[in-house]
Amino acid sequence: MNFPWILLSASFIGLWLGFVLHTSAGNELVLDKFSYPYALFLVLLTTLCSGLLWLAWQRQGSLARMLRSFVVTAAITIILLLIVIPPAYIYLHNRSLEKNILTPLNPQAHAFFQYDIAPDIPLNPDNSTIRILALGGSTTYGPELERDQAYPAVLEQILQERFPDTPIKVLNAGVPWYTSMHSLLRYISHYADWKPHIIIVLHAFNDIFQTSEGRLTSGQFRNDYGHFFGALGKRVNPQDHFRERLERFLDDNWFTRTWYSDLRNSPVGNDKEEVDLLRTLPSFHQNMSALVHRALQDDVQVIIANQPFLYRENMPAEEQEELFYDFYYQDYAVVPSVNEQMTAMQVFNETSRELAKDQGVWFVDLESSLIKSTEFMYDDVHYTNAGAHRVASLFIAQLPWSEIIAGIRK
């Protein structure tokens, strides 16, 4: 019995089997399991491992000495790594914490609303200007766009070109992480003083994620959204960039994504529960209704829009890799499928439509009119430059602006 050769064979087979137990994403697969490039890699790996094992068999006499030398070298290397890596990690991590967590907050940061990017409003608004307030989250704000590329700025530009004799201001009050609750509170506490003539309300995506009990939450759902600290992230849950980069490297490199992925990602023994994506729907309806009711009391015209999304059936694998919604669920619940997330968005969008109809306010159907393509959205819901221009154009196309502005100027 040649024990060194058996040990080497077991090691090679274990390495090879790890790559075999991986299922590729996509529609065109070899044996319904491997993509064509990955299947070619397995053929090459199998040839290489077989060749090395055959070579080792031919040199059985010297194999024991080679393995002994390899084990000694590996043991010394591991010991050195155990000595060097922990203090290096602690040092680098602490340096990262000093830069990213202990940096004082911007003086303009708000204790509840947190983000200081919400615009200030003039205390004495110009009565000759048509004032339009665009409320929403990051899709309204446009985090990856220049300020003049976000849809409120584009909408203002188009309206001003159409009505050159009427000064028009569209105020972008969208803030990343904001929900219908934030917009309601912000309007009552701040933006109502601007005395807008029109408000545009665009919400759904962020409200759905208030159902989360995982990351960025206190761990237990509350229907007033008080458990979710997304908009307060800089204060109560500051980002640990060093750890995030390390985890991303360990999770996203090709080796760890493929090696024994079928076993590591198997649902067998998974005690995570399914998440109810619709349990914030009553809160969403209540917040939106209260916002519309208050705006109408202030003699403000209301435009409700539904929210476009990239989700669709049979999404290409490369587009699914751009989605981030699973970030909210993966550490505590079974990650919903793309179709489940799509269905939730459709339900919230239909709620917005029904609310607009019941309250007798304007409604703009963005979702069915914006093509589901990375030309217009670079992830789940956020617009590219072309997407923001398309959204602004849809607001123009679906509303009787001449009638609206004429009514305001009376």
Q: What is the pLDDT of residues 107-134, one digit of tens each?
A: 666 666 766 677 777 777 778 899 999 9
What is d(CA 179, CA 354) in angstroms, rounded to the nearest whole number? 19
User: Which residue type sits at 312?
Assistant: R
Mean pLDDT of the chain: 85
Contact 210, 225 (CB under 8 A): yes
Ranges in the chain annotated CATH 3.40.50.1110? 130-409
pTM for this structure? 0.73
pLDDT of amino acid 186? 93
Fold held by 130-409: Rossmann fold (3.40.50)
Convert the pLDDT of each residue in 259-270 to its tens digit: 888 887 765 455
CA angle 16, 321, 41 (to 5 degrees): 25
Contact 204, 349 (CB under 8 A): yes
Local confidence band at 94 (pLDDT 50, 70, 90 cut-offs) = confident
Percentage with pLDDT > 70 across the chain: 83
Range of lowest pLDDT (10-24, 57-71, 144-158, 194-208): 57-71
pLDDT of amino acid 102? 44
Local confidence band at 72 (pLDDT 50, 70, 90 cut-offs) = low
Per 3-state DSSP, the chain is made up of helix, strand and coil in percentages (nearest 5) of 55, 10, 40
What is d(CA 202, CA 305) in angstroms, rounded to the nearest whole number? 5
